[in-house]
Amino acid sequence: MARKDLLDIAALDREEIDLLLDQSIPFKELFTRSVKKVPALKGKSVLMLFYEASTRTHSSFEVAAKRLSADVTNFDVAHSSITKGESVRETVETLQAMRTDYIIVRHGRSGLPGMIAKQTKASVINAGDGAHAHPTQALLDAFTIKEKFPDPTGRKVLIIGDILHSRVARSTSTILKKLGVDVAYLGPGSLVPRTGPENIRRFTDYKEAMVWQPDIVYLLRVQMERQDVQFFPSLREYHRLYGISDARLEEIRKRGLYLMHPGPVNRGVELCDAVMDYERSLINDQVENGIAVRMAVLYWLKPGSTQE
Partner 1 sequence: MENLLTAEDIAAGVDRLALAITEKNRGQPIALVGIRSRGDEVAERVLTLLSAEDHWELSFGVLDISLYRDDFEHLHENPLLQESDITFPVEGAHIILVDDVLFTGRTIRAALDALSDYGRPAKVELAVLIDRGHREMPIQPDYVGIVLDTRRLDHVLVSLEGTDGKDQVKIVAKPSP
**Please, which residue, 33 or 207, has the CB nearer to partner 1?**
33
Which of 16, 17, 23, 73 touches partner 1 (CB under 8 A)?
23
Considering the complex, what minimum distance in angstroms separates the CB of residue 62 from partner 1? 19
**Contacting residue, 11, 29, 189, 208, with partner 1 by CB under 8 A:** 29
Q: Give me the least distance between CB of 2 and partner 1, in Å please.
A: 5
Q: Which of residues 163-182 bind partner 1 (CB under 8 A)?
A: none
* Position 39 contacts partner 1 (CB under 8 A): yes
Q: Minimal CA–CA distance to 168: which of 142, 135, 190?
A: 135
Q: Is 195 in the site for partner 1 (CB under 8 A)?
A: no
229 binds partner 1 (CB under 8 A): no
Q: Can you tell me which of 13, 15, 33, 150 binds partner 1, judged by CB under 8 A?
A: 33
Q: Does 11 bind partner 1 (CB under 8 A)?
A: no
Residues 57 to 96 in contact with partner 1, rule: CB under 8 A: 68
Using the minimum distance from each CB to partner 1, give the nearer residue, 149 or 300.
300
- Can you give the chain as a three-state secondary structure string? CCCCCECCHHHCCHHHHHHHHHHHHHHHHHCCCCCCCCCCCCCCEEEEEECCCCCHHHHHHHHHHHHCCCEEEECCHHHCHHHHCCCHHHHHHHHHHCCCCEEEEEECCCCHHHHHHHHCCCEEEEEEECCCECHHHHHHHHHHHHHHCCCCCCCEEEEECCCCCCHHHHHHHHHHHHCCCEEEEECCHHHCCCCCCCCCEEECCHHHHHHCCCCEEEECCCCHHHCCCCCCCCHHHHHHHHCECHHHHHHHHHHCCEEECCCCCCECCCECHHHHHCCCECHHHHHHHHHHHHHHHHHHCCCCCCCC
In the complex, least distance from residue 287 CB atom to partner 1, rounded to whole angstroms: 21
Nearer to partner 1, 156 or 294 (CB): 294
Decide: 252 and 259 in contact? Cβ < 8 Å. Answer: yes
Q: Does 302 bind partner 1 (CB under 8 A)?
A: yes
| C-alpha closest to that of 179 among 146, 212, 147, 203 | 146
User: Which one of residues 34, 199, 230, 306 is an interface residue with partner 1 (CB under 8 A)?
Assistant: 34
Of 133, 137, 129, 231, the closest CA to residue 187 belongs to: 231
Candidate residues 10, 17, 40, 82; the one interacting with partner 1 per rule CB under 8 A = 40
Residue 31 binds to partner 1 (criterion: CB under 8 A): no
Q: Does 25 bind partner 1 (CB under 8 A)?
A: yes
Considering CB under 8 A, how many residues would be counted as binding partner 1? 19
299 near partner 1 (CB under 8 A) = yes
Told to check if 149 binds partner 1 by CB under 8 A, we report no
Q: Is 14 in the site for partner 1 (CB under 8 A)?
A: no
Give the residue with the Cβ less far from partner 1, 39 or 85: 39
List residues near partner 1 by CB under 8 A: 1-2, 19, 23, 25-27, 29, 33-35, 37-40, 68, 299-300, 302
